[in-house]
Structure 1
Amino acid sequence: MRISRRKFLQKSGTVALMAPFLPSPVGGFHPNGSDDPLKVHIFSKHLQFLDFKEAGQIAAELGFDGIDLTVRPKGHVLPENVKSDLPAAIRDIKQSGSTCEMITTAITDVNNEYDLDIIKTAANEGIGFYRINWFEYHADKSLQESIKVYQQRIKALAEQGRQYDIIGCYQNHAGTSIGSSFWEIEQLLATVDPVYFGTQYDIRHATVEGGLSWTNGLRLLRERIKTIVLKDFQWAKVNGQWEAVNVPIGEGMVNFKDYFKLLKTYGLNPPVSLHLEYPLGGAEKGHYEITVDRKIVFDAMKKDLTTVQQLWKEA
């Protein structure tokens, strides 16, 4: 696994370096199989009302390529139980006909209790990617000083990634935590080993924070992208205040066709985590019990998956 993954990443990096010399972003240059269908994994946060076997069965039946498993507090797998529960979860998911090559965690520091256990256990189970938690700016430090502190954190995580052959990711997002600006992500990753740590690029958050400049962010971070998140939103007034309200894929403001065209132009076809953050009886929030019929949740998942693959095909 170590050799094949490294070779793949090196090849991807070569394509990314070629990007400035490629045709227009809407051109037809699709290296590295970037025009192949996306490998879409359902975010298990939205299936936490099911056990591992049921989640795997539903993911397979709906046509997902796998599950992005939550391994964090209030997740599918709790950090304190990772050594026993994660191997069992992977076994059940595989026996149900699905796979798990990516997990979402609350990891922040290799010195934290359970964080290193999660990395080691995930790597031993053949998981290729893990997303860490978001970092917050320190009130007693400048923005630049805070980023330098976290640069050291992720360098240590990348060192563990090299040892155990697993790739860490930091997600860009919307808000005031580190990573709402693509320049923050670029600085955060400036000193880390790019083979074993990169970004989980979230186009919904990039559009909320970047407006029309999200294309610049994608161009800046393209060589650092390891996995991507797909979800959609629209601005709406809620109780008299403007808010970014989550909606099904294709019904909001994310320009998926241009986004997918750019991914293809840059030779990128990374693993996808599909999120459904709009109202689904609590499934959107990771509740263990939901207030709507399960079929409503499953139908929404299937609809978003079909829309994603159609938009990718058309791009």
Structure 2
Amino acid sequence: MQKTKKVISRRSFTKLSTKAVASIPLMGLGNTLYPTAPKLKNEIEVSIFSKHLQFLDYSGMASAAAEIGFDGLDLTVRPKGHVLPERVADDLPKAVESIKKYGMKPKMMTTNVWDIKDLTNKMVLETASKLGFTFYRTGWLSYPEDRTIPQSQAIYAQQAKDLGQLNQDLGLIGCYQNHAGNHVGAPIWDLPSILEATNNEYFGVQYDIRHAVVEGGSSWELGLRQIKPFIKSIVIKDFLWGKNNGAWKPVNVPLGQGVIDFPYYFSLLKKYGINVPMSLHLEYDLGGAEHGNRKITISKEEVFKRMKNDLKFLRETWRQAP
């Protein structure tokens, strides 16, 4: 096969034939198939999770994201989100219009999509595809008590395979987030048995280091090594362990103030050649914005200040990581 340049534009990439793309070994290349991800070692692409801007309308959220310095928005398209799934055909174009107005492109969104037999789920993905989105986060899964974990994994593997096929048809990349608690993917080690049923080009993981450390403790690095071929996007946030009513629980904090060793984590991502779109989450006290509240109890200027501080830490720490 003729060698191509390391950096490929989106337009050039889409002109590659399906046959040529299919001939590339997916598992061994990690994320090199995705021209939408930044390729320079010390440059990252960071979107703000729009959950934290739901006290603003579409124009306000886009304006704030651009002014703070984000590359884009990880738009909530789900129940209680910026865009409600049942109104996606009417409202998502309006949100995209505002995003473009402030010099950004629609790329990431967070959904509750999983079962493509659901017509609303299909409408969300079809509308997003037409409007230029590339990445989306799926809904979470659990392990019901009335069947074994292997039985659930077999069911979810087939559903993921079906979803991945739809993604391929629409030109989307679906990402399942590892989330602490009684969720599929919380221990990381259970995900490959599901993901291996999919086409790794169009379906993978939105890797969340905060939840990985909560569940994996000091073994999170092993989970990262196992899941790295499937990582398509990344969530960034930090936490400390603290007591709540006598019980030890994770307490969310600004970046750099918690237990996450970001310099080492970023050095591993660079080592593995993982540079994919990042979604910044701020789940510590933002006067209610951390929960996606429509009304907040602190000034929006203070919310923006805290977002800017986290973004600055993120970019500087990435650049300095070896």
Match among 92, 101, 104 for residue 98 of structure 1: 104
Q: What do residues 281-306 of structure 1 show as CA deviations (whole Å, max 9, x unaligned)?
A: 11000011111111111001000000
Q: CA separation of 1:142/1:272 partners in 2, compared to 1, >3 Å: closer, same or farther?
A: same
Between the aligned partners of 1:296 and 1:251, the Cα distance in structure 2 is 18
Q: 1:139 Cα shift?
A: 1.5
8 A Cα contact 1:280 1:297, kept in partner = yes
Between the aligned partners of 2:216 and 2:67, the Cα distance in structure 1 is 36
Q: CA separation of 1:63/1:111 partners in 2, compared to 1, >3 Å: closer, same or farther?
A: same
Between the aligned partners of 1:268 and 1:34, the Cα distance in structure 2 is 11
TM-score by length of 2: 0.89
Q: Which residue of 1 aligns with 2:244?
A: 238
Q: How does 1:164-183 map to 2 (within 5 A)?
A: 164-183=170-189
Q: Which residue of 1 aligns with 2:4?
A: none
Q: 1:57 Cα shift?
A: 0.8
8 A Cα contact 2:240 2:259, kept in partner = yes
Q: Which residue of 2 aligns with 1:109?
A: 115
Match among 216, 220, 223 for residue 210 of structure 1: 216
Q: 1:142 Cα shift?
A: 0.4
The more displaced of 256-265 and 2-11 is 2-11
Unaligned runs of 5+ in 2: 1-9, 33-37
* Percent of aligned pairs sharing the same letter: 46
Q: Which residue of 2 aligns with 1:21?
A: none
8 A Cα contact 2:31 2:231, kept in partner = no
How many residue pairs are counted as aligned between the two chains?
A: 302
Q: Which residue of 1 aligns with 2:136?
A: 130
Structure with the bigger RCO (C-alpha within 8 Å, sep 6+) is 1
Between the aligned partners of 2:26 and 2:277, the Cα distance in structure 1 is 13
Q: Which residue of 2 aligns with 1:121?
A: 127
8 A Cα contact 1:34 1:268, kept in partner = no
Q: Which residue of 1 aligns with 2:201?
A: 195
Match among 262, 273, 278 for residue 267 of structure 1: 273
TM-score by length of 1: 0.91
Q: Which residue of 2 aligns with 1:22?
A: none
8 A Cα contact 2:30 2:231, kept in partner = no
Q: 1:182 Cα shift?
A: 1.0
Q: Which residue of 1 aligns with 2:5?
A: none
Q: CA separation of 1:183/1:271 partners in 2, compared to 1, >3 Å: closer, same or farther?
A: same
Between the aligned partners of 1:148 and 1:190, the Cα distance in structure 2 is 11
Between the aligned partners of 2:146 and 2:133, the Cα distance in structure 1 is 37
Please give the secondary structure, in 2, of the residue aligned with 1:187. helix
Unaligned runs of 5+ in 1: 19-31
Match among 283, 287, 306 for residue 281 of structure 1: 287
Alignment of 1:68 with 2:74, yes or no, is yes
Q: How does 1:42-57 map to 2 (within 5 A)?
A: 42-57=48-63
Match among 154, 163, 168 for residue 162 of structure 1: 168
